[in-house]
Structure 1
Amino acid sequence: MSRPDQAFYMLRGAASDAGRAYKQELLDLLDIQAGQIALDVGCGPGTDLPALAERVGDSGTVIGVDRDEAMLTRARERTDGLPGVEIRKGDAHDLPIEPGTVDRAKIDRVLMHVAEPSDALAQLHLATRPGARIGLVEPDWDTLIVDAEDLETSRAFTRYTTEEAVRNATIGRSLARLAEQARFRVETVRATAPVFRDFHEADHTLGLGRNMQKAINGGCVDRDRGHRWITSLSEGPFYASFTLVSVICSR
């Protein structure tokens, strides 16, 4: 089963009702002001860069950082013509940012993928100036629930997601602790539970079909049982959810 285009995947996820809601809340809590320097670490295809640019205004600067050249190309296309937007190639573990220059920063569903989340947060602390505000958002995939008559296979799918599919699958519950260890002051911690009632949307966002196939190939789920599980989900009323944790902190 092929892996979906990652830029399309991220853009579609951001455009969903759940995606729009938490992103709007994150930007509101960051309290971005005109003239500030705002940093988006792991900006991907530039999903949030136009909204950041609107908030910092013509006198501000938005810096999008990503290590994937294809993502950077999409981000440049998406922000073409926007004043004050800079797209830089770099890694979360080694940010291409002058120390102590950033007023507002966000890391949105990136720490679950990086090799060392603590090192990435240390880099963010170095890049931000005293008084800066930082927004962190990560899922806790251990809380993923998928309604099915075959509850054991649903649990097996969540275990596979947590143990094999995502590098730092429970990072959401650790965000506040990791932020404090990185010497940020935690101000707000919020948890929401995005709900999916449409199978196809959930399949796209949660990787139900492709990850179940990987679980089957890896011997984690019986082939026939896994295929029956996916078929039943696609045919009947559907429900799935997980916990998404947002942390707002200051430097």
Structure 2
Amino acid sequence: MSKTLGVSRPDQASYMLRAASEDAGRAYKQRLLDLLDLRAGHTVLDVGCGPGTDLPALAERVGVSGRVIGVDQDPAMLATARRRTAAMSTVDIREADAHALPVEPRTVDRAKIDRVLMHVRSPADVLAQLHTATRPGALIGLVEPDWDTLAVDAQDLETSRAFTRYTTEKVVRHATVGRRLAHLAVKAGFRVETAIATTPVFTDFEHGDHTLGLGRNMQQAIAEGHIDRTRGEAWFAGLAHGPFYASFTLVTVVCSRP
């Protein structure tokens, strides 16, 4: 891994699959599936399914009598998802925007939306769509980061703080949606059953750089004039030397549809 800036944005499908395969990704996803209490015969909706990261696990839990609907608006992501689930007859993949879900009202028993609300135009409108799609008694799992809590250890603390501010204000559309999940869920008509905060910790420089976009986002912050080039480049180069630490808060909310 280069210790200088200039790392290009990774292929999104590969990025998502790698992140899900790492320890922190596997742990929170397993917990989410357990909290959703998936059962044989359920119809499950995965909004923003991406390259189909979670579709096989969902299909396994609902069995041959169940149904898994994956929705995403990115054709390239969906192509990967279709390849990964080609042998799974219970998986139905649909191209659509999360603000206009292609699902009949009150037909979904379980739904999940994982690290998607931070990117959409209106999280509230997407949750309203989920409320329409789910049956009374359905469970809905929501997972989002709170990027305001991003902490990167460096000798230059002020540049670390500037990097977090830049991430929150310029890189991610709804960077603090994680802390608002419970509020948004209640406003959409759901009842909050569980709220959990976990802290993914990165102690490997390459892993942290890949997942958190440290190099590419710092390069962008410098190019846009938000961080001084000399300080930004020295900050990034210094992260690769000695023990590395970075973390953020990931919020999981499971709610029910009355």
Kindly provide the amino acid, as one letter, of the partner of residue 93 in structure 1.
Answer: H
Structure 2: unaligned runs, 5 residues or longer? 1-5
Aligned to 1:66: 72
Kindly provide the amino acid, as one letter, of the partner of residue 28 in structure 1.
Answer: D
Following TM superposition, by how much is the alpha carbon of 1:235 offset from its aligned partner in structure 2, in angstroms? 1.8
Report Cα offsets for 1:117-168 as digits up to 9, x if no partner. Answer: 0000000000000000000000000000000000000000000000000000
1:155-166 equivalences under 5 Å are: 155-166=161-172
Give the Cα–Cα distance (whole angstroms) in 2 for the partners of residues 244 and 230 of structure 1. Answer: 24
Aligned to 1:228: 234
Kindly provide the amino acid, as one letter, of the partner of residue 51 in structure 1.
Answer: A
SS at match of 1:63: strand
Aligned length: 251
Kindly provide the amino acid, as one letter, of the partner of residue 69 in structure 1.
Answer: P
Aligned-residue CA RMSD (Å): 0.5
Aligned to 2:196: 190
Following TM superposition, by how much is the alpha carbon of 1:83 offset from its aligned partner in structure 2, in angstroms? 2.2
Give the Cα–Cα distance (whole angstroms) in 2 for the partners of residues 152 and 51 of structure 1. Answer: 42
Report Cα offsets for 1:171-217 as digits up to 9, x if no partner. Answer: 00000000000000000000000000001001010000000000001
Report Cα offsets for 1:71-120 as digits up to 9, x if no partner. Answer: 00000001010121000001110000011000000000000000000000
Is 2:133 the partner of 1:132?
Answer: no
Aligned to 2:127: 121
Give the Cα–Cα distance (whole angstroms) in 2 for the partners of residues 229 and 215 of structure 1. Answer: 13
Aligned to 1:15: 21
Is 2:240 the partner of 1:237?
Answer: no
Give the Cα–Cα distance (whole angstroms) in 2 for the partners of residues 87 and 34 of structure 1. Answer: 19
Aligned to 2:3: none
Aligned to 1:216: 222
Report percent identity of matched pairs: 73
Report Cα offsets for 1:198-248 as digits up to 9, x if no partner. Answer: 010010100000000000011110001100001000122100000000000
Kindly provide the amino acid, as one letter, of the partner of residue 53 in structure 2.
Answer: T
TM-score by length of 2: 0.97
Aligned to 1:51: 57
Is 2:164 the partner of 1:171?
Answer: no
Runs of 4+ in 1 over 4 A off after TM superposition: none
Aligned to 1:202: 208
TM-score by length of 1: 0.99
Counterpart among 80, 94, 99 of residue 100 in structure 2: 94
